[in-house]
């Protein structure tokens, strides 16, 4: 759980300090975006591979090596001397950190007795939904009080604790190196190229004007071709490296749809709300973190009670309530004005904090109920990949939606605030007189007045665009609720998950 927590935390923790990192490495905003993209691309490629590789090298050895490398590459990121070295080390950090997420879930499904699995899944939920919520807070606090380097150094102590825990607590099994000879190499290669291309398209598409960029067009074609080959190989091969047939299972397939929308809501909210707070309210990284923490800390008090509640209440109902609460919190945020700040946002964050755990823990139980131990690695890889992919899809859609809706609202408001409108002329005259009273000459004061009104129009256009983004998140979550209606009932007794 410690490893999964660190790996998920590292997706978000650098976002708060990205401007400082860019300044330190003399990188532009567009170049600096690759610091996050490199990590996410490497992570999403390795997550589906983890189940197979942990069988090849044995779970204990695979975890120990990747944990040690994750610590090493985290320190290397802090020591980066230019942008290229940072991107390389971030990719390697993502490649080793991505291993830690699905293996945490695999350990729950394969090593815990049935009576403890629901507790284990609740612990896993903390890594999945709590870590992204506190990532920006922690990153902002470290950057404000120390420096951006500590966003990477922070992995060292928990990483060493994890090494000791895995060495002591995970049973050593014999590696199955013979699996390398019969490895599904074409499936692995097509998956790696397809997923990496798709992830870059989703991360960089909105910055590069989507299909106006030759790079995005080429990568989109690669993603379609190689992901099609990957699906065909995995569904027809007798011994695939990951069992895609799990998606045909009613509960796993439907739970995966809800999981994608959870990724959209989880990572989309953490992307769009800090953007609003920085752009409209002028908050720094630490102040943004103080708002987001209200969606994180309450989850620590809710999650421990969920295994007991799951024994008494239909887990499908819990997921439905969770999706509804998360959606309600997004609807609450869709009513923002330029004055909406810390005090007004606390309530929507608390509602979100109540909803997220009610989705994650019961949903994981539903998806994994009745799975055989040999499918645990594939299930964990697929389930976690779906959530991360949902996050990337959500952020890409929101970034594009924000740009388009800002332009739309700006045009609509611009039509109303015309220089020929008597109300606008009166306001310009009032502001001109104000600037003249502050020492400006008449011509300068008029320009300042027009500029001030233009700034107000742009501000209001952005606020409306941010509201539209939260509408999108709310609707996406509600639509996923349709899948919940078709889930088969799963009984949880004594913490055990079984049909």
pLDDT tens string 132-174: 878 877 888 888 888 888 889 989 999 999 999 999 988 888 8
Q: How does pLDDT run across 231-258, given as a tens digit for each residue?
A: 999 888 888 888 888 888 889 999 999 9
Tell me if 221 is assigned to some domain. yes
33 and 153 co-located in one domain: yes
pLDDT at 245: 86
Tell me if 224 is assigned to some domain. yes
pLDDT of 493 over the 60 cut: no
50 and 150 co-located in one domain: yes
128 and 39 co-located in one domain: yes
Tell me if 354 is assigned to some domain. no
Task: Provide the pLDDT confidence category of residue 299 given band limits of 50, 70 and 90.
Answer: confident
Highest mean pLDDT range out of 82-91, 322-331, 356-365? 322-331
Tell me if 53 is assigned to some domain. yes
Rounded to an integer, the average pLDDT of 444-455 is: 78
pLDDT of 178 over the 90 cut: no
Task: Provide the pLDDT confidence category of residue 479 given band limits of 50, 70 and 90.
Answer: very high
pLDDT at 162: 93
Q: How does pLDDT run across 83-112, given as a tens digit for each residue?
A: 889 999 999 999 999 899 889 888 888 888
Percent of the chain with pLDDT over 70: 97
63 and 104 co-located in one domain: yes
Rounded to an integer, the average pLDDT of 183-190 is: 88
Tell me if 72 is assigned to some domain. yes
pLDDT at 497: 39
Tell me if 355 is assigned to some domain. no
Rounded to an integer, the average pLDDT of 404-433 is: 79
Task: Provide the pLDDT confidence category of residue 455 given band limits of 50, 70 and 90.
Answer: confident
Last residue of a domain, one of 161, 180, 199: 180
| d(C-alpha 298, C-alpha 353), whole Å | 6
Q: Which domain holds residue 64?
A: 1-180
235 and 170 co-located in one domain: no
223 and 89 co-located in one domain: no
Any residues with CB less than 8 A from the CB of 329 and at least 6 apart, and which? Answer: 348, 349, 351, 352, 355
155 and 232 co-located in one domain: no
Q: How many domains does the chain have?
A: 3
Tell me if 484 is assigned to some domain. no
Task: Provide the pLDDT confidence category of residue 346 given band limits of 50, 70 and 90.
Answer: very high
Highest mean pLDDT range out of 11-20, 176-185, 388-397, 463-472? 463-472
pLDDT of 396 over the 90 cut: no
Burial class (CB in 10 A: 0-12, 13-18, 19+), 100: buried
The residue among 141 and 474 whose pLDDT is bigger is 474
pLDDT at 411: 86
171 and 192 co-located in one domain: no
CATH number of the domain where residue 148 is located: 1.20.1250.20
Highest mean pLDDT range out of 157-171, 201-215, 359-373, 409-423? 157-171
Tell me if 81 is assigned to some domain. yes
86 and 196 co-located in one domain: no
pLDDT at 492: 65
120 and 215 co-located in one domain: no
pLDDT of 494 over the 80 cut: no
Last residue of a domain, one of 131, 159, 180: 180
The residue among 5 and 452 whose pLDDT is bigger is 5
Task: Provide the pLDDT confidence category of residue 471 given band limits of 50, 70 and 90.
Answer: very high
34 and 87 co-located in one domain: yes
96 and 113 co-located in one domain: yes
Contact 80, 100 (CB under 8 A): no
Rounded to an integer, the average pLDDT of 299-322 is: 90
């Amino acid at each position: 759980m410690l490893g999964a927590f660190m790996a998920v935390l590292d997706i978000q923790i650098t976002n708060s300090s990205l401007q400082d990192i860019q300044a330190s490495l003399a990188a532009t905003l567009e170049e600096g975006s690759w610091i996050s993209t490199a990590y996410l691309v490497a992570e999403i490629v390795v997550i589906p591979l983890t189940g197979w590789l942990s069988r090849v090298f044995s779970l204990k050895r695979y975890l120990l090596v990747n944990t040690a490398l994750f610590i090493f590459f985290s320190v290397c990121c802090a020591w980066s001397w230019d942008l290229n070295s940072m991107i390389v080390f971030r990719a390697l950090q993502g490649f080793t950190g991505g291993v830690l997420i699905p293996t945490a879930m695999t350990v729950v499904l394969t090593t815990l007795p049935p009576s403890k699995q629901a507790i284990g899944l609740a612990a896993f939920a903390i890594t999945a939904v709590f870590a992204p919520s506190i990532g920006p807070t922690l990153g902002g606090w470290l950057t404000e009080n120390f420096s951006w380097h500590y966003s990477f150094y922070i992995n060292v102590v928990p990483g060493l604790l994890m090494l000791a825990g895995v060495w002591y607590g995970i049973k050593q099994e014999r590696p199955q190196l013979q699996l390398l000879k019969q490895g599904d190499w074409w499936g692995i290669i097509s998956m790696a190229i397809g997923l990496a291309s798709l992830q870059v398209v989703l991360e960089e598409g909105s910055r590069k004007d989507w299909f106006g960029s030759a790079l995005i067009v080429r990568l989109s074609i690669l993603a379609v071709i190689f992901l099609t080959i990957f699906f065909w190989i995995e569904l027809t091969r007798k011994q695939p490296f990951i069992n895609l047939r799990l998606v045909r299972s009613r509960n796993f397939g439907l739970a995966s749809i809800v999981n994608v929308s959870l990724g959209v809501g989880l990572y989309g909210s953490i992307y769009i709300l800090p953007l609003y707070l920085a752009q409209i309210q002028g908050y720094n990284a630490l102040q943004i973190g103080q708002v987001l923490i209200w969606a994180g800390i309450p989850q620590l008090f809710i999650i421990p009670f969920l295994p007991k509640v799951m024994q008494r209440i239909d887990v499908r109902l819990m997921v439905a309530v969770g999706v509804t609460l998360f959606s309600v919190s997004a609807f609450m945020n869709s009513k923002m004005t330029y004055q909406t700040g810390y005090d007004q946002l606390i309530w929507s964050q608390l509602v979100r904090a109540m909803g997220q755990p009610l989705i994650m823990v019961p949903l994981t139980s539903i998806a994994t109920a009745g799975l055989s131990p040999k499918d645990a690695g594939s299930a964990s890889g697929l389930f976690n990949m779906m959530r991360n992919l949902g996050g990337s899809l959500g952020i890409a859609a929101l970034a594009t939606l924000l740009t388009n809706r800002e332009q739309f609202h700006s045009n609509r408001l611009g039509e109303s605030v015309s220089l020929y409108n008597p109300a606008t002329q009166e306001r310009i005259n009032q502001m001109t007189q104000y600037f003249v009273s502050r020492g400006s000459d008449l011509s300068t004061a008029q320009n300042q007045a027009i500029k001030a009104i233009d700034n107000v129009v742009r501000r209001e256009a952005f606020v409306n665009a941010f509201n539209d983004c939260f509408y999108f998140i709310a609707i996406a979550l509600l639509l996923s609720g349709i899948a919940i209606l078709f889930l088969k009932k799963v009984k949880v007794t004594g913490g055990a998950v079984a049909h």
